[in-house]
Structure 1
Amino acid sequence: MSSNTSSFPERIELTGEGLVLRDWTEEDLAAMPELFDHPDIAYWTPIVSPFDEAASLARLDRARQLRAEGTAVLLAITLDGGAPLGEVMLRRSPEGTEIGYAVGPAHRGQGLAVRAVRVMAAYAFEELAADRVILELEAENAASVAVATKAGFALLDVPPITGEEKGRPFVLQTWGLDRL
């Protein structure tokens, strides 16, 4: 079965590295603005800003729609399956199996993004038979470059991806981690 045709399970819970990555639920809606309504997240990610109650509902709906389409999985990053501390995303794209993440400002500095990326990469290798997972980052985003490096990714020699998001031009570098 090709990695582009298999669908994602209806429910996903991944554990490892001291984390539980789980599906977003209605109970998380109240916590989402404090995670995502922040200038860093507005600047570096395509996540809508300002991020309010309506944005929380829209994100939950979108996560479910992307899962149903077999396009992407968006999971809450938690320590124990409880309160969400951020989000990790796995998306099938023409460039490859891409991982993305956002950690709430109050929860940074604990290695959550690095650990969540490693758990999600293991899922991609073991369950989706991906040969490589990628991160697409701006070189100026020092925090994300540090996450990529600590998680074992290497900068790939491929052309940068350019575009514009929220009226701001961006240039993304592609970082890769190959299955062992």
Structure 2
Amino acid sequence: MSGTPIPLPERIELADEGLVLRDWTEADLAAMPELFDHPDIAYWTPIVSPFDEAAAVARLDRARQLRAEGTTILLAVTVDGRAPLGEVMLRLGPEGGEIGYAIGPAHRGQGLAVRAVRVMAAYAVEQLGVERVFLELEAENAASVAVATKAGFRLLDVPLIEGEEKGRPYALQTWDLPSPWAGGR
């Protein structure tokens, strides 16, 4: 995949693994603070904190802007296409497709993140032609390490990605998805 943004569909709905990943809508704004205004999400993700109604409106606007630019897809994670339980992201770049996720605290422990990551990875490869799908996460984030492992990703022996977010330093590991489409699993 080149560094040139690709045209992304205006609407996306992916149904697989007992999930429906769909576009965020105005109807979701009231539910978003309950999902994202949590210390774990504030600590481990770049999602703004505190996360209130204004943050929800800004996130919806940003999701639409990034989609229009052809760089990023943000989808609500649902089981039936209705109430959002979290979010899954696909950021497209020259290195491939980076997947990120955040599941609301009340909905954890159901395998939602693992299934959402697998559905998004399959979409990236099969529908968008992404050649490489990866995760970037902190080794200390045990829940994300478990998601990466259960979703079939492998830790790569590459330098850590170091930086600072929200006033705290981080060091991200890169996890790669061996491609079953290329016989890599």
Residue 8 of structure 1 is matched in structure 2 by 8
Query: Which string of whole-angstrom CA distances, capped at 9 and with x for unpartnered residues, describes residues 57-88 of structure 1?
Result: 00000000000000100000000000000000
Contact 1:3–1:128 (CA under 8 A) maintained in structure 2:
no
Q: How far apart in 1 are the matches of 2:78 and 2:9?
A: 20
How many residues align structurally?
180
What residue identity is the alignment partner of 1:158? V
Q: How far apart in 1 are the matches of 2:135 and 2:87?
A: 14
% identical aligned pairs = 81
Contact 1:130–1:179 (CA under 8 A) maintained in structure 2:
no
Residue 65 of structure 1 is matched in structure 2 by 65
SS at match of 1:81: coil
Scaled by the length of structure 1, what TM-score is found? 0.97
Task: Confirm or deny that 1:127 pairs with 2:127.
Answer: yes
Q: How far apart in 2 are the matches of 1:140 and 1:58?
A: 29
Q: How far apart in 2 are the matches of 1:168 and 1:3?
A: 29
Equivalences for 1:21-170 in 2 at 5 Å?
A: 21-170=21-170
Which 5+ residue runs of structure 1 have no aligned equivalent? none
What residue identity is the alignment partner of 1:42? A
Residue 183 of structure 2 is matched in structure 1 by none
Q: CA deviation at 1:94?
A: 4.0
What residue identity is the alignment partner of 1:16? D
Q: How far apart in 2 are the matches of 1:131 and 1:179?
A: 8
Contact 2:74–2:87 (CA under 8 A) maintained in structure 1:
yes
Contact 2:154–2:178 (CA under 8 A) maintained in structure 1:
no
Task: Confirm or deny that 1:172 pairs with 2:172.
Answer: yes
4+ residue runs of structure 1 moved beyond 6 angstroms? none
Q: CA deviation at 1:36?
A: 0.0
After superposition, the CA RMSD in angstroms is 1.2
Q: How far apart in 2 are the matches of 1:51 and 1:177?
A: 31
Q: CA deviation at 1:157?
A: 1.7
Scaled by the length of structure 2, what TM-score is found? 0.94
Q: How far apart in 2 are the matches of 1:5 and 1:70?
A: 5
Q: How far apart in 2 are the matches of 1:179 and 1:149?
A: 15
Which 5+ residue runs of structure 2 have no aligned equivalent? 181-185
Q: CA deviation at 1:95?
A: 3.4
